[in-house]
Amino acid sequence: MNPKFQYLLRLGDNCLVLSQQLAAWCGHGPALEEDLALTNVALDLLGQARLWLSYAGEVEGRGRDEDALAYGRDGSDFRNLLLLEQPNGHYGDTMTRQFLFDAWHQHLLAALSQSTDTRIAEIAQKAAKEVRYHVERSAGLVIALGDGTEQSHTRVQAAVNKLWPYTNEWFESDAVDAQCAAEGIAPAATSLAAPWHASVEAVLGQATLVMPGYIGHQRGGKQGLHSEHLGHLLTSLQFVQRAYPGAQW
Annotated domain spans of the chain: 3-243
Q: By C-alpha distance, which of 86, 67, 95 is closest to 17?
A: 86
Query: So what's the pLDDT on residue 26?
Result: 87
Task: State the pTM of this model.
Answer: 0.95
Radius of gyration of the chain (CA): 18
Q: By C-alpha distance, which of 204, 185, 243 is closest to 11?
A: 185
Residues 6+ positions from 136 with CB-CB distance below 8 Å: none
In contact, 139 and 203? CB cutoff 8 Å: yes
By CB neighbour count within 10 A (0-12 exposed, 13-18 middle, 19+ buried), where does 35 fall?
middle
Residues 6+ positions from 14 with CB-CB distance below 8 Å: 80, 81, 84, 101, 105
DSSP 72: S
Q: By C-alpha distance, which of 19, 236, 237, 238 is closest to 127?
A: 19
φ, ψ for residue 25 (rounded to 5)? -80, -10
Query: So what's the pLDDT on residue 244?
Result: 86
In contact, 10 and 222? CB cutoff 8 Å: yes
Question: What sign does the dihedral 143-145-151-156 (CA atoms) show?
Answer: negative
Q: First CA to last CA across the chain, in angstroms?
A: 34
Per-residue pLDDT of the chain (249 residues; tens, 9 = 90+): 799 999 999 999 999 999 999 999 988 878 878 878 899 999 999 999 999 999 999 999 999 999 999 999 999 999 999 999 999 999 999 999 999 999 999 999 999 999 999 999 999 999 999 999 999 999 999 999 999 999 999 999 999 999 999 999 999 999 999 999 999 999 999 999 999 999 999 999 999 999 998 777 899 999 999 999 999 999 999 988 888 887 776
| Angle at the Cα of 203 from the Cα atoms of 106 and 125, rounded to 5 degrees | 10
Query: So what's the pLDDT on residue 249?
Result: 67
What are 185-191's contacts with CB under 8 Å, separation 24+? 185/3, 185/4, 185/7, 185/115, 185/116, 185/117, 185/120, 186/7, 186/111, 186/112, 186/115, 186/120, 187/108, 187/111, 187/112, 191/111
CA–CA gap between residue 29 and residue 227 (Å, rounded): 26
DSSP 116: S
Correct CATH for 3-243 of 1.10.510.10, 1.10.150.130, 3.30.70.2190, 1.20.1260.10 = 1.20.1260.10
